[in-house]
Amino acid sequence: MSDINLKIKDREGVIHQVVAPTDMAMNIMEICKAYELPVEGTCGGMAMCASCQCYILSKTDLPEKNEDEEAMLSEAFFVQDNSRLGCQIAITEQLEGLEIELAPEY
């Protein structure tokens, strides 16, 4: 298992290049927190708050949204076609090169 590289654009437009381990069962929300990026993760990763909403900027293949994520995004604000909940995307080698942008806080 190797580390992967991600690019995360924060709400000020600054791009952070981060290295994420693939063997610690982490997700995008947790990686943001681990790098002290301004992601609250209020519900702890249960797809129940949308505070980790992000926009997918790259053409990376991602796992499909599950029911919980779909439902939460349907109630969230600032939702775009490329919106995802960071907490529902597990860090895997497939995600190498992924680029995301943090959605506005609400």
Partner 1 sequence: MIKTDILIIGAGPTGLFTVFEAGLLKLKCHLIDALAQPGGQCSEIYPKKPIYDIPGFPEILAGDLTKNLLEQGKQFEPGFTLGERAETIDKLEDGSFIVTTNKGTKHHAPIVAIAGGLGSFEPRKPMIDNIDTYEDNGVAYIIKDPEVYRNKRVVIAGGGDSALDWSIFLADIASEVTLIHRRNEFRGALDSVEKVRELKLLNKVNLITPAEVTALHGKDKLEAITVTIDGQEQVLETDHFIPLFGLSPKLGPIANWGLDIEKNAIKVDTLDYQTNIPGVFAIGDVNTYQGKLKLILCGFHEATLMCQSAYKIINPGKRYVLKYTTVSGIDGFDGSRKEAPKAVVQSIN
Q: Which residues bind partner 1 (CB under 8 A)?
A: 40, 42-43, 46, 48-49, 51, 67-68, 70-72, 74-75, 77, 106
Shortest Cβ distance from residue 18 to partner 1 (Å)?
A: 19
Handedness of CA 94, 35, 86, 99 (dihedral sign): negative
The span from the CA of 25 to the CA of 69, in Å, is 18
Closest CB to partner 1 among residues 72, 89: 72
Shortest Cβ distance from residue 45 to partner 1 (Å)?
A: 11
**Could you write out the DSSP letters of every residue in 60-100?**
---PPP-HHHHHHHHH-SS--TTEEEGGGSB--GGGTT-EE
Shortest Cβ distance from residue 80 to partner 1 (Å)?
A: 14
Shortest Cβ distance from residue 72 to partner 1 (Å)?
A: 8
Closest CB to partner 1 among residues 61, 67: 67
